């Protein structure tokens, strides 16, 4: 057999060698096509992404009020200022709380949905309902939040009916918890949709087998659903990390929407802090904003690597 398998190439070899000139012509043609095909994308990517990123990196070492104003070298000054700024430190911690605390909640709800929703009647409908917050505009959310959570809003009114004292939901001390809840509410649907589509492709007979041997819902999830959707979970986890580190609109929707005010320090994320340093009245602090961008880029990179590492598993495949 071994020789048999080896023979054909050998037999083919002479013709191949005979067509060597032609073969050589084919290969360079492909090589010649390499750059013309790659270049447009490479140029576009470099011009629109790589160069601006490098420029942003450069700006982070300078004081700069924007195009037209002189850029003055500030060394690590912007970074040191960030380290000393209570507002930035708080926003940094908040961003992590959102990434990890919010992430834990989002995936807890996602897994729960996967356990519960797999066989429920009307699950497609329920899934759409869970997904809905994802597509509601943040502007609408912002307005609704005022109606719901203001001191004399709907939530406090309803709580009043059952004898619970009104709470200052949007006050500086409580608003961040509300933001975490809002973020979980608005993003869970996306991850449910993603994970469920993976779960749907698991053949039902695996669950039937499991049921026959008396596996509980949790055991079915633990031994069938999770291993077979792990790849999608790994991707979802990375997506979450990337998205959670740039949480912005929802903070604004819960706090200052409609005004150029800055949200209370207790509720700021790095993205919000960055926005406050460059937008609104006053002289833009682009160096400071760029430094925040660099910090969050580094953190994102580290977290993605860690997430990839933690979620790395032997791939489970159905034979």
Residue 151 CB, nearest approach to other proteins (Å)? 4
Residue 40 CB, nearest approach to other proteins (Å)? 21
Whole-angstrom distance, CA of residue 274 vs CA of residue 293: 8
Nearer to other proteins (CB atom), residue 71 or residue 299: 71
Nearer to other proteins (CB atom), residue 103 or residue 289: 289
Q: Which residue ranges make up the site for other proteins (CB under 8 A)?
A: 65-69, 77, 80-81, 84-88, 137-139, 142, 145-146, 149-152, 166, 168-172, 174-175, 248-249, 252-253, 255-262, 264-265, 273, 275-277, 279-285, 288
Nearer to other proteins (CB atom), residue 114 or residue 271: 271
What is the phi-psi region of residue 120: left when phi exceeds 0, alpha when psi lies from -120 to 50, beta otherwise? beta
Q: Which long-range contacts (CB under 8 A, 24 or more apart) does 223-229 make?
A: 225/114, 225/115, 225/118, 225/199, 226/111, 227/313, 227/316, 228/198, 228/199, 228/202, 228/316, 228/318, 229/114, 229/195, 229/198, 229/199, 229/202
Nearer to other proteins (CB atom), residue 65 or residue 206: 65
* Token pair of 287 as six digits: 């160096």
Residue 61 CB, nearest approach to other proteins (Å)? 14
How many CB atoms sit inside 10 A of residue 95's CB? 23
Whole-angstrom distance, CA of residue 219 vs CA of residue 211: 10
Residue 262 CB, nearest approach to other proteins (Å)? 4
**Is residue 296 within 8 Å of residue 248, measured between CB atoms?**
no
Task: List residues bridging with 62 in a β-sheet.
Answer: 73
Residue 178 CB, nearest approach to other proteins (Å)? 10
Nearer to other proteins (CB atom), residue 80 or residue 310: 80
Contacts of 198 (CB under 8 A, 6+ apart): 228, 229, 231, 232
CA-angle at 184, arms to 105 and 85, nearest 5°: 90
Residue 279 CB, nearest approach to other proteins (Å)? 8
Nearer to other proteins (CB atom), residue 23 or residue 260: 260
Residue 307 CB, nearest approach to other proteins (Å)? 25
Nearer to other proteins (CB atom), residue 81 or residue 231: 81
């Amino acid at each position: 057999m071994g020789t048999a398998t080896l023979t054909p190439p050998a037999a083919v070899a002479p013709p191949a060698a005979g067509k060597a000139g032609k073969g050589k012509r084919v290969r360079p043609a492909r090589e010649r096509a390499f750059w013309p095909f790659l270049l447009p994308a490479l140029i576009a990517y470099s011009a629109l992404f790589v160069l601006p990123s490098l420029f942003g990196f450069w700006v982070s070492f300078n004081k700069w009020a924007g195009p037209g104003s002189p850029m003055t070298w500030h060394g690590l000054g912007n970074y040191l200022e960030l380290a000393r700024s209570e507002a930035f430190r708080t926003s940094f911690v908040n961003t992590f709380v959102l990434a990890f605390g919010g992430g834990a909640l989002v995936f807890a709800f996602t897994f729960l949905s996967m356990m519960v929703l797999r066989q429920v009647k009307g699950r497609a409908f329920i899934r759409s309902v869970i997904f809905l917050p994802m597509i509601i505009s943040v502007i609408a959310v912002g307005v609704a939040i005022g109606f719901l959570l203001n001191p004399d809003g709907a939530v406090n009114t309803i709580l009043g009916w059952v004898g619970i004292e009104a709470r200052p939901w949007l006050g500086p001390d409580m608003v961040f918890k509300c933001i975490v809840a809002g973020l979980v509410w608005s993003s869970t649907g996306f991850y449910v949709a993603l994970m469920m589509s993976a779960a749907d492709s698991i053949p039902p007979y695996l669950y039937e087998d499991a049921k026959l041997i008396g596996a509980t819902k949790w055991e079915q999830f633990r031994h069938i659903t999770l291993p077979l959707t792990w790849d999608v979970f790994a991707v979802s986890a990375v997506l979450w990390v990337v998205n959670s580190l740039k949480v912005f609109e929802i903070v604004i929707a819960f706090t200052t929407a409609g005004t150029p005010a800055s949200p209370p320090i207790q509720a700021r994320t790095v993205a919000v802090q960055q926005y406050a340093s460059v937008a609104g009245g006053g002289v833009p602090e682009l160096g400071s904003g760029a430094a925040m961008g660099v910090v969050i880029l580094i953190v994102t990179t580290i977290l993605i690597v860690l997430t990839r590492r933690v979620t790395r598993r032997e791939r489970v495949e159905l034979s």
